[in-house]
Amino acid sequence: MIKISKSEYQDILKYSARALPYEACGLVGGRIEGQDRIVEKVYNLTNVDHSQYHFSIDPQEQFEAIRDLRMRGMVPLGCWHSHPDTPAVPSKEDERLAYDTFASYLIMSLNEPETPVLSSYRLDERMVEKNTTHDHRQRRNEAGGSIMVREEIQFEQNVSCFKCYSRN
Ligand SMILES: [Zn+2]
């Protein structure tokens, strides 16, 4: 499960709306507690593709964001991007480019502007041959279907208050 606070959700939503008609993108970092991944920081980064249908995170900004995360004692948890007019599911392109079995891939869909949807996906490790890119791609082709699986998201008012919630 990945946990994200309302304010970080709003942050992603705002930046996604501002980037329209293009896809927006960024990174998320935080900490891991048992099976839970807790987002503590969202980075809104530049989509150097300036495209409605795909994104590439500015490599320099990505480097700086990861350095910033590490300085704060956090770990990179994954990346996020927006879908301006498609649902919050990975596109074929998203699947082709996803390579990190550790990462959460969050997608903010603005397909229905009144009801934005944030989803998270992980690579299905059973479908991914470890270590070699070649085998990795072969597995995908054999699989035919999706190689990404939905990850449960929990929205929290304030991530720093988890312990208060669980006590109540
Ligand atoms: Zn996408």
pLDDT at 146: 72
Tell me: pLDDT of 159 over 50: no
**Domain spans of the chain, in order of start:** 2-167
Distance 156 CA to ligand 1 centre (A): 25
Distance 165 CA to ligand 1 centre (A): 33
CA atoms of 32 and 103, how far apart (whole Å): 12
Report the mean per-residue pLDDT for the chain: 86
pLDDT at 138: 52
> Average pLDDT of 28-36?
96
Give, as one character, the DSSP assignment of residue 47: B
**Structure tokens of 29?**
């970092």
Distance 109 CA to ligand 1 centre (A): 9
pLDDT digits (tens, 9 = 90+) for 78-120: 999 999 999 999 998 898 888 888 999 999 999 998 899 999 9
User: One-letter amino acid identity for 80?
Assistant: W
Distance 31 CA to ligand 1 centre (A): 24
pLDDT at 162: 40
Class of domain 2-167: alpha beta
Q: Using alpha carbons only, what angle is made at residue 126 by residues 34 and 144, rounded to the nearest 5 degrees? A: 135
pLDDT at 163: 38
Distance 161 CA to ligand 1 centre (A): 31
